[in-house]
Amino acid sequence: MFEASVEATFSAAHQVHLPDGSLEPIHGHDWHVTATFASEQLDACGFVVDFIAAERCLAKVVERLHHTSLNECELFSGKNPTAEIVAQTIFDHLALDESISPALRRVRVTEAPGCSATYILNR
């Protein structure tokens, strides 16, 4: 199995809905995103995924999040913007691009040192 990853960062605020119905105070993070691609075999050029195409796709998603409040961002409409949901939402939007989606396996977001969440596609 081969894996290849691309990374990006964005700055955004969020306010998570807590189990008791309250909201935590709005606060911001410098989010770090890692999108990982995997394949049993390499393509004719020796790639799992074209890094340039993968970086472009990831940049398009994170630019929609940069300098926003995730609670007000259309990508999170009706969602509680936890780190787990951020990872899944980024994954879902990357998966829309057919040039990279066949190899997309997981997206990991780190919202603070030591605090990360990963969405993994089980195939």
- DSSP class of 46: S
Judge whether residue 123 has pLDDT over 80: no
Whole-angstrom distance, CA of residue 52 vs CA of residue 54: 5
Query: From 3.30.950.10, 3.30.56.10, 3.30.479.10, 3.30.1490.20, which CATH number describes the 2-15+27-120 domain?
Result: 3.30.479.10
Tell me if residue 52 falls in helix, strand or coil.
Answer: helix
pTM of the model: 0.95
Judge whether residue 120 has pLDDT over 80: yes
Q: How confident is the model at residue 4 (pLDDT cuts 50, 70, 90)?
A: very high
- DSSP class of 5: E
